[in-house]
Structure 1
Amino acid sequence: MPLLFLNEKSWGAACDPARAERAMADFVAVVRAAAAEGGSSTALVSEVDVKSLDIAEGYPVNKWIAASPRNRALWRRLRALQGRSPVRSVFSADDAADHLEYRHDGEVVLGLGAAHFMDGIAVSLAVARQWQADRVTLERSELVEDDDRLEMRQDAVDVRHLSAEPHLDRYRDWLRAGRSEGVTTGSRIWDSRSDLYPHLTFLQRVEGQLRSLDPQWVVPVRRALERLEEAVAAWDPATMAEPEWRTKVTPEGETRKRVCRFTDVNGETHTFDLHARFTPGAGRIHFRLVREERTIRLAHIGSKIRPEV
Structure 2
Amino acid sequence: MPQLFLNEKSCETTADPDRVNHAMTEMVEAVLAVAAVDRQGTALITQADSLLALELAPGHPIGKWMGAPSTDEVLRLRLKRLDDRSPYRTVFPEGETFSDVGYQYDGETVEGLGYAHLLGGVGISLPLEARWNTDRITLVQERLTDDDEDTDSVSTEVEVRHAARALHVDTHLQWIERGANTARQEAVEGLRSGSELWERWPELYPLLQFTPGAERHFVELPEVWVRPVGERLGELQDAVSDWDPAQHPIAPQWRSDVRTEFEMRRKLCWFPDTDGESRLFDWHCEFLPKPGRMHFRLVHEERTLRIAYVGRKLGIK
Q: Please tell me the TM-score bracket, short chain as reference.
A: 0.5 to 0.7
Q: Structure 1's 66 and 156: CA in aligned 2 closer, same or farther, altered over 3 A?
A: same
How far off its partner does 1:148 sit?
Answer: 6.7
Q: Which amino acid aligns with 2:5?
A: F
Q: Which amino acid aligns with 2:22?
A: R
- Structure 1: distance between partners of 2:24 and 2:73: 12
Aligned positions of 1:1-309 closer than 5 A: 1-48=1-48, 49-68=50-69, 70-145=71-146, 149-181=150-182
**Structure 2, gaps ≥5 residues long:** 184-317
Contact 1:8 1:110 in 2 (8 A): yes
User: Matched residues, percent identical?
Assistant: 37
Q: Which is higher, the Rg of structure 1 or of structure 2?
A: 2
Aligned length: 182
Secondary structure of the structure 2 residue equivalent to 1:160: strand
Contact 2:10 2:125 in 1 (8 A): yes
Q: Structure 1's 159 and 41: CA in aligned 2 closer, same or farther, altered over 3 A?
A: same
How far off its partner does 1:153 sit?
Answer: 0.4
**Structure 1, gaps ≥5 residues long:** 183-309
Query: Aligned residue for 2:302?
Result: none
The one-character-per-residue Cα deviations of 1:97-147 (angstroms, maximum 9, x if unpaired) are 121011122222111000000011011110111110011111111012457
The one-character-per-residue Cα deviations of 1:172-208 (angstroms, maximum 9, x if unpaired) are 00001112335xxxxxxxxxxxxxxxxxxxxxxxxxx
Query: Aligned residue for 1:245?
Result: none
Scaled by the length of structure 1, the TM-score of the pair is: 0.55
- Structure 2: distance between partners of 1:64 and 1:163: 16
Scaled by the length of structure 2, the TM-score of the pair is: 0.54
- Structure 2: distance between partners of 1:146 and 1:133: 38
Secondary structure of the structure 1 residue equivalent to 2:162: strand
Instruction: Please report the RMSD computed on the Cα atoms of aligned residues, expressed in angstroms.
Output: 1.9
- Structure 2: distance between partners of 1:89 and 1:55: 21
Q: Which amino acid aligns with 1:33?
A: A
Instruction: Point out 4+ residue stretches in structure 1 off by more than 6 angstroms.
Output: none
Contact 2:44 2:84 in 1 (8 A): yes
Q: Which amino acid aligns with 2:61?
A: P
Q: Which amino acid aligns with 2:10?
A: S
